[in-house]
Amino acid sequence: MPTLDLKLAQHFLLEEPRGAARRLELEAPEVAAGLLKTLPSHAAVEVLCLLQAEFAADVLLSLPEVEASRWLEQMELADIAAVLRHSTEADFARLLSLLSQKKQNLCRMLASYPDYTVGAWVETDVVVLDVKMTVEEAMHRLRKRHYKGGAQLYVVDQQRQLVGQVSIFNLLRRTATEVVASFLDTKVLSLSGFTELAGALKAPVWAQQDQVAVVSRQGDFLGELHHHKVRSALQRNTPPAPLLEATDLLDAYASSFASLVDVFTPTPKSGN
């Protein structure tokens, strides 16, 4: 294997992951997978999540199931859902089967939202409180989940309908036997999961906070959306700009990629 070319290609993937992702998309999925496998898994996953969703699906499907499962485990649910959304029905089922049952259910939900809506990019791993909880029970849940989130905690009912929020500072001042319902703030801002990203970015909610609750059309709590996630999703959904005229460094990167293509391209079997 051309060691110098491999090191240069790896450097490009590590230092310029977005540009490297655009370059990888010019190769066959098997070639892209072969190059990514030479990186530490966290770096490979970072580049994988920057690929166009259709190509990322093909890359994952070209991997052995054990390796594909390991990479999927390190991806955010929104990124997995984006890949699933752009997969065929058969590939959707195959990739989904590599996830835990809990993640399968969440990814099905996220994948049901178009990628231009906030529902596709919501953070689902959010600590919520039940409206009937006592303060003692609420604090136990926060300790159990090693809570490190914001100052406001969302409150849901038994049907997981969003009914309000409580301040963690208010929670700390209450007695252990008080019920959350007795002091929650019912005025909680939220966005519908079907709100388009472009519209969400202009929502007045961002003037007051950096995150907002996301609910379904029926009012079910879906999760939380961060302002930076909206901007990132909009950037991802924007078609990539054409590559600029190559500099000497980019020429070297491209040459290294090209020289490695043969190394990672499967050799066709000769007929009998």
The pLDDT averaged over each successive group of 10 residues in the chain (272 residues) is 68 88 90 92 94 94 95 93 91 94 92 92 92 96 89 93 95 96 94 95 91 92 93 75 47 51 54 52
Q: Which domain does 28 fall in, by range?
A: 3-112+238-264
Residue 38 in any domain: the answer is yes
The pLDDT, as a whole number, for residue 246 is: 44
Residue 81 sits in a domain whose CATH number is 1.25.60.10
Residue 182 in any domain: the answer is yes
Residue 83 in any domain: the answer is yes
**DSSP track, 127-173:** -EEETT-BHHHHHHHHHHTT----SEEEEE-TT-BEEEEEEHHHHHH
Co-location of 79 and 171 in the same domain: no
Residue 235 amino acid letter: Q
Categorise residue 126: left if φ over 0, alpha if ψ from -120 to 50, beta otherwise: beta
Number of C-beta neighbours around residue 21 at 10 A: 22
Residues 6+ apart with CB under 8 A from 226: 123, 210, 211
Residue 270 in any domain: the answer is no
Co-location of 219 and 146 in the same domain: yes
Residue 221 sits in a domain whose CATH number is 3.10.580.10
Co-location of 134 and 63 in the same domain: no
The pLDDT, as a whole number, for residue 86 is: 87
Co-location of 142 and 226 in the same domain: yes
SS3 content of the chain, % helix, strand, coil (to 5): 55, 15, 35
Co-location of 230 and 133 in the same domain: yes
Q: Please check whether residue 211 is in contact with residue 165, taking contact to mean a CB–CB distance below 8 angstroms.
A: no
The pLDDT, as a whole number, for residue 12 is: 85
Q: d(Cα 130, Cα 137) in Å, to the nearest integer? A: 9
Co-location of 148 and 169 in the same domain: yes
Co-location of 135 and 208 in the same domain: yes
Residue 135 in any domain: the answer is yes
Q: Sort strands 211-215 and 162-167 into parallel, antiparallel or unpaired.
A: unpaired
Give the total number of structural domains in the chain.
2
Q: Please check whether residue 21 is in contact with residue 47, taking contact to mean a CB–CB distance below 8 angstroms.
A: yes
Residue 67 in any domain: the answer is yes
Co-location of 142 and 227 in the same domain: yes
Co-location of 33 and 92 in the same domain: yes
Residue 47 in any domain: the answer is yes
The pair of three-digit structure tokens given for residue 251, joined into one six-digit string? 């020429």
Co-location of 149 and 193 in the same domain: yes
Co-location of 148 and 58 in the same domain: no
Q: d(Cα 214, Cα 192) in Å, to the nearest integer? A: 6
Q: d(Cα 76, Cα 145) in Å, to the nearest integer? A: 18
Co-location of 135 and 230 in the same domain: yes
